[in-house]
Structure 1
Amino acid sequence: MKQLATDVDLSDFSAWLRAQGVEHRIAEEGGQQVLWLAEPEHAEAVLNALDQYLNRPAVRAAVKETRHSPVFVGGRWQPSPGHAPVVLAVVIVAALLAWATGLGRSQLSAWLMFVDPQQFGWATMDQRLAALSQTLTSGELWRLVTPAFLHFSWTHIIFNAVMLWFLGSQVEWFDGKGRLLALFLVTAVVSNGLQFVVSGPLFGGLSGVVYGALGYCWLSQQRRARFQFPPALILFAVGWMVVGFTPLPALLGMGPMANEAHLGGLLAGLTMALLVAPPKKSPA
């Protein structure tokens, strides 16, 4: 229970609470507004959110935008394809290349890898660095990015596409297409590069970019609230990344994971959030 003066407008905050699945009611009692929660265990989190809503104009503006923006339905992020055409294009290209490469089994896959594994040795660090130097010298710069479009199962690409659509569409809508493209390129190059240096060219997927988008959204959100995602998502993602560095995935028969790509993408996204200020106003 929380008591507030009757002149405080809680309509946007109440709509936001409903969107989060928090059952509550606001009643007037004794000349005060009283916020009642159906589940007492929500009290601490709700009171903390209410304090930020009342005392931080940026949070209040973000909650209001969540309620009235065309990309939110019932307070939840639900954009249409027209709201994030760049992210949609990335997902479509990845799906088409997954089909064209036979999920990484055709000759086309070698053309998309960080270096061509058929032309270079890559068993040692020296070999990998020499292969990379020769590849870049020959002008094959697209290889820095294209491993992100390689996928080796439909489950792999579907999961990455869903996560990239959820996070990347928010970056594109709130921060603009230029910021989304920069985030994609930086996180793809860093995640692909780190994975190649550690393990060689036999990897692929948008996972590094997804981790980059998550890191960017999470940290940039601290500077200006605008994104919507469950707070537990960053904990789950980091936890899963840590698990990837253990023998557990192999024991479960999940096959090798691009752990360094996940780490590199996350660090690149966090770095971008630190170095690039969030826009003062959404360009969308």
Structure 2
Amino acid sequence: MFIRRENFKQYIKSYPVVSTLLALNILIFIVTSLPIIGEPLFNKGIGFNLLISEGEYWRLVTPMFLHASVIHLLFNMFSLYLFGPELEHIAGKARFLTVYMLSGLVGTIASYFLHEWNYMHVGASGAIFGILGAFGALVYYTKHIMPQLKQVIVPLIVIGVIMTFVQSNINATAHISGLITGFIVGLSYFHPKRIAAWKKRKNSHLK
């Protein structure tokens, strides 16, 4: 399920939302790493609670597309590259994007309300954890039908949560709130009645 065998062209064609998010994050990292203009742009987008409280509300969104280092970027983008395609395939483009953006946004909002005024953060981790949360909801509904999915997702979530609290300089608030948001949204998207209704509408259009 999470082993990618597509070539570059097939990957982009099959998973346009994931591909766009990957390209956007990488491009923004390159631009914010450039001399002269990079640092001011980075500082303009970082999640900084004090400046958010003063009306710079774009900082609730922009941190999701900024990364502090190459390692930080690679870790998040590899996770998106690996886990994003299957969720985009299962949920659809719009629903996948909703899970991703809403989980990341809730992560930054929670960071604003639960941390001190001088707290600063960047990274797509909240959105990535939202993807895992959505898979958690899928496991909840399919645990008796697709036990192999449970065997993969549950350990990933457990390891992710443990690493959140073991590693230093991690925005645990964004991770956990993103995970919960993805799970709640996934419960709505993957509810058996909703899936059945969606299949019924799809079949009626094909007649």
Alignment TM-score, normalising by the size of structure 2: 0.75
Q: What does residue 88 of structure 1 align with?
A: 19
Q: What does residue 206 of structure 1 align with?
A: 124
Tell me how far 1:166 sits from its aligned partner.
2.0
C-alpha change, 1:177 and 1:154, in structure 2 (3 Å) is same
Structure 2 CA distance for aligned equivalents of residues 204 and 188 of structure 1: 11
CA contact (8 A) 2:61 2:108 kept: yes
CA contact (8 A) 2:22 2:77 kept: yes
Tell me how far 1:183 sits from its aligned partner.
0.7
Counterpart secondary structure, 1:256 = coil
Q: What does residue 242 of structure 1 align with?
A: 162
> Could you say what the CA RMSD is over the residues aligned between the two structures, in angstroms?
3.1
Does residue 273 in structure 1 map to residue 189 in structure 2? no
Q: What does residue 52 of structure 2 align with?
A: 132
Structure 2 CA distance for aligned equivalents of residues 219 and 273 of structure 1: 5
Q: What does residue 189 of structure 1 align with?
A: 105
- What do residues 228-249 of structure 1 show as CA deviations (whole Å, max 9, x unaligned)? 867244334433433433xx53
- What do residues 42-86 of structure 1 show as CA deviations (whole Å, max 9, x unaligned)? xxxxxxxxxxxxxxxxxxxxxxxx8xxxxx9xxx55452211111
Q: What does residue 43 of structure 2 align with?
A: 110
Give aligned pairs, total: 186
Identity of aligned residues (%): 25
Structure 1 CA distance for aligned equivalents of residues 190 and 93 of structure 2: 15
The runs of at least 4 consecutive aligned structure 1 residues that moved more than 6 Å come to none
Matches within 5 A, 1:209-220: 209-220=127-138
Structure 1 CA distance for aligned equivalents of residues 153 and 187 of structure 2: 20
Instruction: Report the AA paired with residue 96 of structure 1.
Output: L
Q: Which runs of 5+ in 2 are unaligned?
A: 203-207
CA contact (8 A) 1:191 1:262 kept: yes
Structure 2 CA distance for aligned equivalents of residues 175 and 232 of structure 1: 18
Structure 1 CA distance for aligned equivalents of residues 104 and 136 of structure 2: 18
Which structure has the larger Rg over C-alpha atoms? 1
Q: Of residues 113, 133, 141 in structure 2, which corresponds to 1:223?
A: 141
C-alpha change, 1:233 and 1:156, in structure 2 (3 Å) is farther
- What do residues 2-55 of structure 1 show as CA deviations (whole Å, max 9, x unaligned)? xxxxxxxxxxxxxxxxxxxxxxxxxxxxxxxxxxxxxxxxxxxxxxxxxxxxxx
Question: Which structure has more helix as a fraction of its residues?
Answer: 2
Alignment TM-score, normalising by the size of structure 1: 0.56
